[in-house]
Structure 1
Amino acid sequence: MTMRDPKPAQRGGPAKQRRRTASPQAEAKPRRRKSGAAAEPDASGDGAQAPSRRAAKSAQRRAAIVAAGLQEFVARGYTATRLDDVARRAGVAKGTIYLYFKDKEALFQELIRSALVPVVTRIAPQPGEGQSARALFEQFVQTFVREIVETERADVLRLVLAEGARFPALAEFHYREVVLRALGAIEQLIRYGIARGEIHHTVLAKFPQLVAAPALMAVIWQGLFSKHAPLDAAEMLRAHLDIIFDQRGTT
């Protein structure tokens, strides 16, 4: 009977196997990050705030461009204004402007949209229960003088009046975004006054431009003639309301 050779012992023996087995201390030892490797994301949440900071910075840059555009348009007029000058005044590169506005016309439209449209939407108060139409028109006058006549918004209006005929697209944009809204609000107040019996000239509902005309005159006068003949726009507009409401003026 042939005897089989005993199973050969594993190479290295038990002692060598023990040397190959990692010790618990070695497994617990943290691995060192290679030099230049990217750090792991911070779980503190600071990274989540970065987009909001970038958005705020972008909004500030956009506002600076719009403000610089207003100053340049007022100083030079629409035709002579160059985006190079706007960029220089805003403290940005010219290419930065194109990140927000495709051209000069788009920048001017933003001036109209940001400077005038918000005022128009709140300039005509909504009638309250039992509130007189005269009181509502008084609020209209106060808001118009405070928010437009006495601010840089009047410069935007004067720019449209001066440049609109040569740039029909700008005039059309202003008409759609500002004029239609303003006349619609004025007509609503006129009809409210007629319904209450406070306004007897019903033709004013057909031609709200007659009510708005002195407000536009105040803007033009302040820009052209105020140095020669100062105008109290609020007093003039209240006198106009006396005529509309068939009331004797108190001034």
Structure 2
Amino acid sequence: MDTANFISTKMDSSQNKSSTRQAHRRRLPPEERVAQILDAALEQFSQHGFNATRMDDIARACGLSKGGLYVHFGSKDAVFEALLERALTRTNWDELPQLAQGASARAVATWIVDRLHAALLEPQSIAILRLLISERQRVPTRLEQWREGVLRMRAQQVTARIHDDLAASISPDSVLARHPWLALSPVMHTVLWQALFGEGTAPDDDARQAHIDLLCALLE
């Protein structure tokens, strides 16, 4: 490459980097900026661990100065707390498509499994679970909130959906009515599997369909 072309290429590269930085640092509404910071923080925590990640790393990852980051969060712990809070409030089943009343057992089972997979197997949910496991001594209260706010709440939502759609055909003495957490067991197995072995993995190639079949058997 001749000198003129080399200089031109370097200038183009510098301009592209400058444009990227300017795009990152453009003024955003506070809620959008906070979401951008949390996404960058989750990526940094996941790659390097909480202890090894610095506020400088988070600022750099989202294209902010360190001072710009401190406008929104006063410490790395505050960023971590906000990440966990977002994970606890992210999925609202009330905002998702509902079944027609009187749906069949298989339709109810499929709806439940789809909702559980959407809420619990989303990559950010898996990343948050890994953080909770690795930092459980640091945030025991948040770990308990995840258990209550995600697992127990999902079990209650499953029970409510079964009651609303199959009240006339399911016995209150059925094992699923008495132990609604059983509806979550297959997907939690997959959640833990992915937390250990990576997103996209599962204990069985037909894990989702097996979950639906299991719910149908319990409902019937």
* TM-score between the two structures when normalised by the length of structure 2: 0.68
AA partner of residue 84 (structure 2): I
Give the 3 Å change call, closer, same or farther, for CA 175–223 of structure 1 in structure 2.
closer
Q: Check conservation: 2:110, 2:212, Cα contact below 8 A.
A: yes
- Structure 1: 4+ residue segments shifted above 6 A: 227-230
How many positions carry a matched residue from both structures? 193
Q: Check conservation: 2:104, 2:166, Cα contact below 8 A.
A: no
Q: Which residue of 2 aligns with 1:210?
A: 182
Which SS does the other structure have where 2:71 is aligned? coil
Q: Give, in angstroms, the shift of residue 171 of structure 1.
A: 1.2
Q: Give, in angstroms, the shift of residue 107 of structure 1.
A: 2.1
Give the 3 Å change call, closer, same or farther, for CA 244–209 of structure 1 in structure 2.
same
Q: Which residue of 1 aligns with 2:128?
A: 156
User: Among 195, 212, 215, which residue is 1:238 paired with?
Assistant: 212
CA distance in 2, matches of 1:119, 1:168: 22
Pairing 1:101–2:56 present: no
Q: Give, in angstroms, the shift of residue 219 of structure 1.
A: 1.2
Larger radius of gyration: 1
Give the 3 Å change call, closer, same or farther, for CA 102–137 of structure 1 in structure 2.
farther
User: Among 177, 195, 202, which residue is 2:167 paired with?
Assistant: 195
Matches within 5 A, 1:8-19: none
Unaligned residue ranges in structure 2 (runs of 5+): 1-25
CA distance in 1, matches of 2:132, 2:95: 20
Which SS does the other structure have where 2:184 is aligned? helix
CA RMSD of aligned residues (A): 3.3
CA distance in 2, matches of 1:205, 1:186: 10
The structure showing larger relative contact order (alpha-carbon pairs under 8 Å, at least 6 residues apart) is: 2
AA partner of residue 214 (structure 2): H
Give the 3 Å change call, closer, same or farther, for CA 214–199 of structure 1 in structure 2.
farther
Q: Which has the higher helix share?
A: 2
CA distance in 1, matches of 2:133, 2:120: 15
Q: Which residue of 2 aligns with 1:84?
A: 56
Q: Give, in angstroms, the shift of residue 139 of structure 1.
A: 1.4
Identity between Structure 1 and Structure 2 (%): 31
